[in-house]
Structure 1
Amino acid sequence: MSPNKPHSTFNNSTQFIEGWYWALPSKELKVGKVKAVTLLGRNLAIYRGISGQAIAIDAYCPHMGAHLAEGKVEGDGIRCFFHNWKYDAEGICVDIPSLEKPLSVCIKTWETAEQYGLIWVWVGKEKPDLLPFVPELEQVDCDYSLGIRFIKNCHPNVLLINAIDAHHFNTVHNLPLEIVFESQELNPNAITFSNTTKGGDNSRLINLIRPLYQNEVTYSMCYWYGSTGTVTLGPDFLHFYIVFALRMIEGGKTEGQTIIITPKRSGCLGWGINRGLLWLTQQVGNYFSKGDTQVFQTIKFDIKTPTKADRSILEFIQHVNRQKALTWETWDVVENVENSDRTYPPTSLVP
């Protein structure tokens, strides 16, 4: 059974997981401004009202279909440019200049939140779940910076599994280590993969850094909604944190934004240390990503012949296929997905 067959959610250009998706950097949306955003095939107008809250609303006015991003923010509402119909933060029409009383008209709005310098939109029908976060930093006040923004010629699911592709650390990055990942589901929408490592005794680099580690080299991933991955790596006394916020774009490709994070340190000295750590973390991320760039421009992913080293990838595929799937553009729930297609044991695919 192929894990990325057309009616599974994994690597499917017509489906995605219900969850939080990044829309745009917070700094790009000032109070009183509105932006046109296309998210997972759906057109939105996202604006910041007088209260400072980012509000996401379906893009088109129900009167004649004008795009609301052409309009004007008033208070916590938005007024359509074409005929000046006004909608409040809940999407309810509250004013039509040509009528004494507005019509009973409402536009769909979507929950938003801001974290790590990005505006996130909850895409789904159910009550919003947790925002993506780095497990080690769940209750920690952090400094962060936005790294590179990129487009890759493959699906976000395929891009994410690269970080748990144990064998490619040897073949692509020339690390003389045997890496084995252990998985744990934090909740139905989040799964972690943490490593144990063996070998490297003949490597000058590994022998140089080994005294910095009491146990195995720290390297762990946490995946949220099949679209956002957080990386934790480094020696025992200093961990580096990188978030890869991904979203699918037309044709099943990926648009991504990296986020560099470090725990906040007090005082001017702490501020200076954090600026240096954020820069250093960016260089670490660049080192590991540059070797894979060419692959993701040409890959046609289809794991037909899995090996023992691919076990973590198969576990991630299973995790994605168990989550609630929505349809590209309409954001409707995907119905009639057979349970056997979403919960097959990954070990059955490993010889």
Structure 2
Amino acid sequence: MPLNKPHLTLNNSTQFIEGWYWVLPSKELKIGMVKAVTLLGKNLAIYRGFSGQVVAIDAYCPHMGAHLAEGKVDGDGIRCFFHNWKYDAEGICVDIPSLEKPLPVCIKTWHTAEQYGIIWVWVGAQKPHSLPFVPELEQVDCDYILGTRFIKNCHPNVLLINAIDAHHFNTVHNLPLQIVFDSKELNSNAINFSNTTRGGDNSWLIRLIRPLYQKEVTYSMCYWYGSTGTVTLGPDFLHFYIVFALRMIEGGKTEGQTILITPKRHGCLGWGVNRGLLWLTQQVGNYFAKGDTQVFQTIQFDLKTPTKADRSILEFIQHVNRQKALTWQTWENVENLENSETNYPPTSLLP
């Protein structure tokens, strides 16, 4: 019996994929600072201990329910404002001022990491998998700046699909090319799409820049946990790298943060070159984002009539629906539903 579409993870406002999610820029959390954060429906307190360690902890003190973000950082632990109970970086209660010995009480903490100037939280019960990264820059020392922070009136999955929607590059961005994407799963939580292009012989612009693109692959997109995308584009001698870190917010909408990246170049000249390249990268990202903004305010995504040009989108849908899902707010496991992706046509049925 076919499964109902609400069970699917893709474009579902009630569940999401277990994985790493961006929380806030590292520079916004100084040593000794604590902030209240709502991530995927769950309230957290996130703080930076005196050693520099970032800790994410469930928000409410189990004593009387006070929000821990109203408290203060003490060493690498945190004290509740209401009665001064202290919890260490593992969430274990280590001090209750009114008692000689603390009660056996603990609060759930979540794995954190910092990369590309962003604090990330691992949302899930099992051991964390890889942080999102640009595949071409996996072992490369990089410079980066944070770009635009935005909210879109659609689900993060729908926003990411746009980058592998081959035909929209012709209709929205007026590129006179036929674009075909090839996919490769890096692991169960990451899938990479790279393109080959054909045509464009009637465009003077394409004829002018084609010598700069001797390699077939000129654009690639890697998706992590269905929520973070890394883009690589540009001519053979100069690639631009953009990370779109996304998270679902109330109502199935998207809050996102762009990160602009370039390989580190040393010395004063290298520093100046990189500042210019990062600025240029932001302009490239803004150009492609501008044309799609109107669509994201009104779209009601439901792919019922796929065409051959939508093959990469169907592959992404199936990749998302195969991953482990958690429920909004509770972060509890969603029962794995066998072959749930069959609510969308398999790629083998495309013309």
| TM-score bracket for this pair, using the shorter chain length | over 0.9
Q: Distance in 1 between matches of 2:296 and 2:2?
A: 20
The aligned residue for residue 307 of structure 1 is 307
**Could you tell me how far 1:338 is from its partner in structure 2?**
2.5
* Structure 1 residue identity aligned to 2:338: N
Q: Distance in 1 between matches of 2:4 and 2:219?
A: 26
Structure 1 spans left out of the alignment, 5+ residues: none
TM-score by length of 1: 0.97
Superposition map of 1:99-118 within 5 A:
99-118=99-118
Q: Distance in 1 between matches of 2:62 and 2:94?
A: 13
Q: Provide the alpha-carbon RMSD of the alignment.
A: 1.5
The aligned residue for residue 121 of structure 1 is 121
Asked whether 1:262 is paired with 2:249, we answer no
**Could you tell me how far 1:205 is from its partner in structure 2?**
1.4
The answer on whether the counterparts of 1:41 and 1:328 sit within 8 Å (CA) in structure 2 is: yes
Q: Distance in 1 between matches of 2:14 and 2:199?
A: 42
* Structure 2 residue identity aligned to 1:305: T
* Structure 1 residue identity aligned to 2:287: Y
Q: Distance in 2 between matches of 1:215 and 1:243?
A: 23
The aligned residue for residue 161 of structure 2 is 161
The aligned residue for residue 13 of structure 1 is 13
Q: Distance in 2 between matches of 1:70 and 1:349?
A: 56
The answer on whether the counterparts of 2:93 and 2:105 sit within 8 Å (CA) in structure 1 is: yes
The aligned residue for residue 319 of structure 1 is 319
The aligned residue for residue 49 of structure 1 is 49
SS of equivalent residue, structure 2 residue 159? helix
Q: Distance in 2 between matches of 1:57 and 1:37?
A: 10
Superposition map of 1:270-281 within 5 A:
270-281=270-281
Asked whether 1:40 is paired with 2:40, we answer yes
Q: Distance in 1 between matches of 2:174 and 2:181?
A: 18
The answer on whether the counterparts of 2:194 and 2:217 sit within 8 Å (CA) in structure 1 is: no
The answer on whether the counterparts of 1:29 and 1:47 sit within 8 Å (CA) in structure 2 is: yes
Q: Distance in 2 between matches of 1:19 and 1:59?
A: 20
Q: CA 1:4 to 1:241, structure 2 compared with 1: closer, same or farther past 3 Å?
A: farther
* Structure 2 residue identity aligned to 1:195: N
**Could you tell me how far 1:349 is from its partner in structure 2?**
4.9
SS of equivalent residue, structure 1 residue 291? helix
The aligned residue for residue 72 of structure 1 is 72
Give % identity: 87
**Could you tell me how far 1:6 is from its partner in structure 2?**
1.1
The aligned residue for residue 185 of structure 2 is 185
Question: Number of residues paired by the alignment?
Answer: 350
**Could you tell me how far 1:207 is from its partner in structure 2?**
1.1
The aligned residue for residue 88 of structure 1 is 88
Asked whether 1:240 is paired with 2:240, we answer yes
* Structure 2 residue identity aligned to 1:189: N
Q: CA 1:215 to 1:3, structure 2 compared with 1: closer, same or farther past 3 Å?
A: farther
Q: Distance in 2 between matches of 1:19 and 1:311?
A: 25
**Could you tell me how far 1:211 is from its partner in structure 2?**
1.1
**Could you tell me how far 1:35 is from its partner in structure 2?**
0.5
SS of equivalent residue, structure 1 residue 130? coil
* Structure 2 residue identity aligned to 1:179: I
Q: After superposition, what is the alpha-carbon deviation per residue over 1:19-64, rounded to whole angstroms, capped at 9, x for unaligned?
A: 0000000000000000100000000000000110110000000000
The aligned residue for residue 330 of structure 1 is 330
Q: Distance in 2 between matches of 1:4 and 1:325?
A: 16
Q: 4+ residue runs of structure 1 moved beyond 3 angstroms?
A: 1-4, 342-345
Q: Distance in 1 between matches of 2:213 and 2:285?
A: 20
The aligned residue for residue 149 of structure 2 is 149
Q: Distance in 2 between matches of 1:283 and 1:197?
A: 23
Asked whether 1:339 is paired with 2:338, we answer yes
**Could you tell me how far 1:3 is from its partner in structure 2?**
10
Q: After superposition, what is the alpha-carbon deviation per residue over 1:210-233, rounded to whole angstroms, capped at 9, x for unaligned?
A: 111112351000000000000000
The aligned residue for residue 297 of structure 1 is 297
**Could you tell me how far 1:345 is from its partner in structure 2?**
6.8
The answer on whether the counterparts of 1:306 and 1:349 sit within 8 Å (CA) in structure 2 is: no
**Could you tell me how far 1:4 is from its partner in structure 2?**
9.1
The answer on whether the counterparts of 1:47 and 1:73 sit within 8 Å (CA) in structure 2 is: yes
Q: Distance in 2 between matches of 1:271 and 1:332?
A: 45
The aligned residue for residue 27 of structure 2 is 27
